[in-house]
Chains A and B, each alone.
Chain A
Amino acid sequence: FLVSLPADYPIFKYVGDVGAHDYHVLSLNNTNNDKITINPIVSARTVTHYIELQSLKKFESYMVKTCWSAVSPISIHNMDTMIVPPLQDFMGTTSEHPRFFIAFDITQDSYPTIDMLESLINVSVTNVKLGIPVDLYSTIIYILFTCGFVFALERYLNLVARITTI
């Protein structure tokens, strides 16, 4: 899920404390990716979860990724962003600055349904550069290196020709 701050979003320094709160925070302060593990109790009824994204830069795009294991039969949908204006109460908290949230719904998605299904979900936010999330760069370089290596092997050892003459 790709997100970016609106053009008119004010620039300010996060000082942090908005008081005790029930939602999670992902912060990109001095980094280009962050990850948290949330442990929601999922019932048969749809529950909406909110995660505040802090220290995002304007004119940058970010990929929000939710990962959960296939052993947890849940479904995440309706992912969207939400801005809470300054001084507006949100889940019992207020802030002088606007707050940027991602919101998503979680429901159980298999039979039998469990009253209180415990699940673990990794939520991560990653800076996207040149249209590619930065956490994929190492994998892409590795793939390109492997392709180059296979190409060189084929060129010097004629692997396909050897396979055909086995």
Chain B
Amino acid sequence: MVFIVKLTWFFLLIKALQYSLVYFSPSQFDTSTELLLKQLTNDTDHQLIDTYWNSNFYNKLLSWDSVFFLKAIVHEKSPNDIIKFEHEYAFSNIWSKLIYVIDLYIHGPLSITGKDMDINYVYRVIKVGLVVGNIIFYLSSILLYYLTILTFSNHSTDLKSKKIAEKTAFLFIISSVSGFIISIYSEPLSFMFAFIGLITRELSLNNRDTDKNGNTTELFDLKLYCWPLYVIATSLSFIIAMWNRTNCIFLGIYFLFDVFQLLYSRKFYKMIFFPLLSGILLFTAFIYKEYYVAYYQFCPERGEWCTTSIIDKVPFLTKQSFYNFIQTKYWNIGFLNYWTLNNIPNFLFALPNIIILITATIYFTKKYPTRHITPTIWITRCFLLVLIFFAHVQIINRVFSFIPIHLWFISDKLYRNEYLMFTKKTDVCHEKLEVERDGIKNMNRFTSDSDDKIIKFYLYWLLFWVPLQTIFFASFLPPA
């Protein structure tokens, strides 16, 4: 309970600081926000756009992707009046629908009409979007706390897992995604459902077997009575996370890992009815959204992408997904397309997270190997490759928020350092403590000081980066 109170105050403090930075930021370099509001609201005389709080605060939160989300929410309200273009399908309609529905639930239908209705509605949904995004971010930090306890309790004492979980939750609030969650961004919905799915998966796992003498051995198994938790809750959470942000398809690697583990231990029925079934559900949901729905929305009139069907009888199965197609066409996504001289600053923006993520995967494979975190390591490796070689690399600062491996690495290492310092200072010779201390000493033989240096550098970077990213966003400056 004390932890939750501390976490809440910490969250409120960080958000207060960030929104103060937004309020005091002098101007926007990109001047298109006023055009967006004029086009969405027909407020030609600027009376409401230029009110004190709108011009000094809310308008500054409408930069980069938030523009698309705002348009999508307004589109939900009046789909016949606003044209939706194909590139806008890159942005989650689940997120815009959620804000639309919550606004409708809180405020009910608008009673005012005409121009005032438009402008009031737009600012109303901006406020609802901000509150919902921040609440989800806050709840996700608590979910991550529980996920971390579940993840680490299989390998360490309750005290240790709790300590690591506390650090992880605090770090999550000031992680690099934080600079974007001051506006209407879809990341919070994805990382919340990713964490929910990972928690339900962890609850379904049986990682320990205890013999008559009380000795525990590590194993991989799934609890039969947890079938609904695994197949329904985990799959559904991953599907929502993936429908909201397509990159969450990487969560399917957890199912792949579980399939191979159960195959290895010859638990074929469990393999079929747990991870294989869940993986099929996730994959079907992906095909449905990225191929089927898009195909029957635009084809055959659209041409181009529509003509790339692989099988004639299943025309919607095209060579590339619709998401991939629009990303390539409008954002120039592709192998090494982003590797140009003018993008060097964007690679520099991404560098701290690339370094910490690579270090984290090495830490959990070579220095602190555990089968339990293996799927997370594989997701990290695959996603890193995609981001570095195919995507706009700087988005790593926000899109990696659904994989907390770097936060786990920092928390785990910091805890070990603290523990060593503590044990050096005390002469406690409790048997259990000795065993643990020996374990940590053995572990530290493989842990070089470079990890500590990287963590220190990363934390200093975060200390400056979060406020700077907040200012960049409020000033409509890159990185996006």
Contacts and interface: CB of A to CB of B under 8 A. Distances in A.
Interface of A: 35, 37, 65, 67-73, 109-112, 114, 120-122, 124, 135-136, 138-139, 142-143, 146-147, 150, 154, 159-160, 163-166
**Chain A: interface secondary structure?**
mixed
Interface in B296-355: 298, 302, 330
Given A70-B67, A165-B418, A135 B29 contact: yes
Interface stretch (B31-39, B147-155, B363-371): B31-39
28 contacts: A35-B31, A67-B35, A69-B39, A71-B36, A71-B68, A71-B71, A110-B330, A111-B85, A111-B298, A114-B83, A120-B35, A121-B35, A122-B31, A122-B34, A122-B35, A124-B31, A135-B27, A139-B25, A139-B26, A142-B26, A146-B471, A150-B463, A154-B463, A160-B463, A163-B170, A163-B459, A166-B167, A166-B170
**Chain B: interface secondary structure?**
helix
Contacts of B87: 73, 110
Nearest to B75: A71
A136 B189 CA distance: 34
A138 B40 contact: no
A26 to B, nearest CB: 13
Contacts of A67: 30-32, 35
B352 to A, nearest CB: 14
Nearest to A143: B471
A166 B165 CA distance: 11
A72 B39 contact: yes
A159 B166 CA distance: 17
B68 A70 contact: yes
A166 B166 contact: yes
B137 to A, nearest CB: 18
Nearest to B410: A164
B86 A150 contact: no
Given A110-B86, A120-B38, A147-B468, A160 B456 contact: yes
B477 interface: yes
Given A73-B85, A163-B171, A139 B31 contact: no
Interface in B157-207: 166-167, 170-171, 174
Contacts of B166: 166
What band does the interface of chain B fall in when counting residues whose beta carbon is under 8 Å from A? 35 or more
Contacts of A69: 32-33, 35-36, 39, 67
Contacts of B475: 139
B468 A139 contact: no
* Residue from B31, B83, B463, B468 with most neighbouring chain A CB atoms (10 Å): B31
Report, nearest first, the 10 A-B pairs whose CB atoms are least far apart.
A138-B26, A110-B85, A69-B36, A67-B32, A120-B35, A111-B86, A69-B32, A70-B67, A69-B35, A122-B31
B467 interface: yes
A129 to B, nearest CB: 16
A143 B166 CA distance: 31
A75 to B, nearest CB: 10
Interface in B6-46: 21, 24-27, 29-36, 38-40
B84 to A, nearest CB: 9
Contacts of A166: 166-167, 170
B269 interface: no
A120 B166 CA distance: 49
Given A110-B87, A142-B25, A147-B468, A164 B459 contact: yes
Contact of B471 (A70, A124, A136, A142): A142
A71 B39 contact: yes
Contacts of B468: 143, 146-147
A166 B167 CA distance: 6
Contacts of A71: 36, 39-40, 67-68, 71
Nearest to A161: B459
A139 B302 CA distance: 43
B225 interface: no
A48 B143 CA distance: 54
B279 to A, nearest CB: 33
Contacts of B30: 67
Given A69-B67, A111-B298, A163-B171, A138 B27 contact: yes
Given A67-B31, A143-B468, A146-B468, A160 B83 contact: no
Interface string B285-303: 0000000000000100010
Contact of A120 (B39, B85, B174): B39
A159 B471 contact: no
Given A135-B29, A147-B468, 4 more contacts: A70-B71, A110-B330, A160-B456, A160-B459
A144 B414 CA distance: 31
